[in-house]
Amino acid sequence: MTVMDLANRTQEIQASRTLAMDAKAKALKAAGEDIISFSAGEPDFDTPEHIKMAAMGALEAGMTKYTASSGILELRQAICEKLATDNGITYTPEQITVSCGAKHACLNAILATINPGDEVIIPGPYWTSYPEMVRIAGGEPYIVPTTASTGYKLTPEQLSESVSPASKMLILNTPGNPTGAVYTEAELVQLVEVAIEEELYILSDEIYEKLIYGDAKHVSVAAFSPGVYERTITINGFSKPYAMTGWRLGYSAAPKHVANAIDRIQSHSTSNVTSFAQRGALAALKGPQNCIDEMRREYDKRRLRTLEIIRTIPKLSCVEPLGAFYLLVDISKTGLGSEDFAEQLLTKEKVAVVPGSAFGDDSLIRISYATSMENIERGLGRLANFCAALV
């Protein structure tokens, strides 16, 4: 052993590829390059004013001390009200842990439930952080690939076939990143039936719940039955609905024994989320909600325009996404792998996308349409040029 040795777990963990691509695009832009970025999974809107004012007011009023590690009671109460009203799930404040983003809430939940050697079933294409979080906990991600033929949704048959004696958890993310897929209630009921029969925990990441389009409806699995509730950890947050990515505010809602374990873990890592930011979160939940729909309607216009343009580009195809703000584009007819495609597109046309390899599928690239209509028109024009120049 040398002084420089790192923990074994670091050998297996990759840095977040979505964040890396976003950082690269931002750096090139800062260096004066005319980059159009579809890489960021981040709202381009600013946080609504009343939320900022609440945090500033709290700061000015001296709210600068530690709070309860799991968050201030008023916020946890407001989260319970939200989950009851919007999602039909009953929780009490001690079941809620306010964490540093939904990302942290997911990691806490995995650390609280996964032992070394446990398998976690993750439908792919998946959000890039899930497998790494499982590895941090010493568990084994078990990826179940889905395709355009099922709209990138896991089927109950696939789930049944994937379960092994080591399976401990199923991760569900609807609306999904990077797929944009929104599971229907009927689909979820069937999946959850298998999960319960196999005694799996369900990590239900609902961070994009408010960003749904067309006839799509968001359904929370924890509301299905007491049996499902007892095995489900519901994750949500503020980054996506209220354009608060930089604030780092998310939460988990879990059965009491799981919530208690999550709280214990958090009390030894980050402790509470920034005190005055929690006041902003409270204002987000208690204040006017029309800001969400205004942003959602704008995303919807961009979604439709993106879809329309992509469908005119020979060699590319995609499934209509019904949620979040991502579109997966199938690039298999271009003959390029996703990393080469993304690299060449950035070099030649100054357009940043995330290669599907970051989500477990090399035949895809992800476009985030959380950017202006002007960027969409110009950037996708460049993408069309790029594809036309491929032989």
Give the residues across from 352 on adjacent strands: 37
Site membership for ligand PMP, residue 102 (CB under 6 A)? yes
Q: How many CA atoms lie within 13 A of 111 on its CB side?
A: 18
Site membership for ligand PMP, residue 43 (CB under 6 A)? no
Site membership for ligand PMP, residue 368 (CB under 6 A)? no
Binding region for ligand GLU (CB under 6 A) out of 14-22, 90-98, 280-288, 381-389: 14-22
Which CB sits closer to ligand GLU, 78 or 365?
365
Select from ligand GLU, ligand PMP, none the partner in contact with residue 250, using the beta carbon and a kind-dependent cut-off of 5 to 8 Å: ligand PMP
CA dist., res. 271 & res. 285, Å (int): 22
What DSSP element (H or E) covers 390? none
Please identify which residue in 87, 108, 129, 234 interacts with ligand GLU, judged by CB under 6 A: 129
Please identify which residue in 95, 173, 266, 275 interacts with ligand PMP, judged by CB under 6 A: 173
CA dist., res. 211 & res. 217, Å (int): 10
Site membership for ligand PMP, residue 41 (CB under 6 A)? yes
Select from ligand PMP, ligand GLU, none the partner in contact with residue 173, using the beta carbon and a kind-dependent cut-off of 5 to 8 Å: ligand PMP
- Beta-carbon contacts of residue 98 (< 8 Å; ≥ 6 apart): 70, 71, 72, 75, 76, 79, 249, 250, 251, 272, 273, 278, 281
Select from ligand PMP, ligand GLU, none the partner in contact with residue 344, using the beta carbon and a kind-dependent cut-off of 5 to 8 Å: none
Name residues contacting ligand PMP, limited to 279-308 (CB under 6 A). none
Number of residues that bind ligand GLU (CB under 6 A): 9
Select from ligand GLU, ligand PMP, none the partner in contact with residue 272, using the beta carbon and a kind-dependent cut-off of 5 to 8 Å: none
Count of other CB atoms within 10 angstroms of residue 47: 20
Site membership for ligand GLU, residue 355 (CB under 6 A)? no
* Burial bucket for residue 96 (CB in 10 Å: 0-12, 13-18, 19+): buried
Site membership for ligand PMP, residue 123 (CB under 6 A)? no
C-beta of 187: minimal distance to ligand GLU in Å? 23
**Token pair recorded at residue 118:** 């446990």
- Beta-carbon contacts of residue 157 (< 8 Å; ≥ 6 apart): none
CA separation, residue 298 to residues 202, 242, 247, 285, 321 (Å): 32, 14, 22, 21, 15
Select from ligand PMP, ligand GLU, none the partner in contact with residue 363, using the beta carbon and a kind-dependent cut-off of 5 to 8 Å: none
Q: Find the DSSP H helices in 39-184.
A: 49-60, 73-87, 101-113, 129-136, 156-162
> Which residues form the interface with ligand GLU (CB under 6 A)?
16, 18-19, 41-42, 103, 128-129, 177
